Amino acid sequence: MGKLTWNSFTKKIYIHTSAKNLYKLWATSEGITSWFLREATYKNSRGGIKKQSEYIEKGDSYVWKWHNWDGEEEGTVLEANGENYLEISFESSKVSVSLEEKNNITIVTLKQFSIPEDDKSKLQIHYGCSNGWTFWLTNLKAFIEHGILLNEVEINLKENDLAGYEFVNM
């Protein structure tokens, strides 16, 4: 077993669908807002806004907005092969998603890496994002395999200052 560190973590989950289907759900605004975000805007390297169904490409930029959180995340698409791998800048670190098909099932491997090792980053990025991605990968599986979303979109959880640390379906 590899050594656990503060500068990276890996999350994996098997999902009963094709890599092609999963890639669309990660790599288009239309896809990622169906199970993860309230809003996602992608711009190409020339600054033009991409269509909802258009795949991201290396050099694109993004702005993400969540349900139940007023903040937004801005970043860059570092890699996107159009099939089974993408990498983005995220929370002063990087996130990669790889998709590997095996016997009509796809294993999703999410890695967050290049995480700064100061105390704030250990709490907010390593701990916070690690917990967050565990939920969101589970939400993706529930969405694909059972047609349901586990995240809260009807109740305003933002009124609770600790909502992001206490609610598992933020």
Domain annotation covers residue 134: yes
The set of residues, in sequence order, having a beta carbon less than 8 Å from that of 72 and lying 6+ positions away, is: 63, 64, 65
Domain housing 72: 10-166
Q: Give tens-digit pLDDT for 118-148.
A: 999 999 999 999 999 999 999 999 999 999 9
27: domain CATH number is 3.30.530.20
Q: Is the pLDDT of residue 28 over 60?
A: yes
Q: Give tens-digit pLDDT for 31-45.
A: 999 999 999 999 999
Number of folded domains that form the chain: 1
pTM of the model: 0.94
Going by C-alpha positions, the residue among 163, 165, 157 that lies closest to residue 124 is 165
167 φ, ψ (degrees, to nearest 5):
-80, 130
Identity of residue 76: T
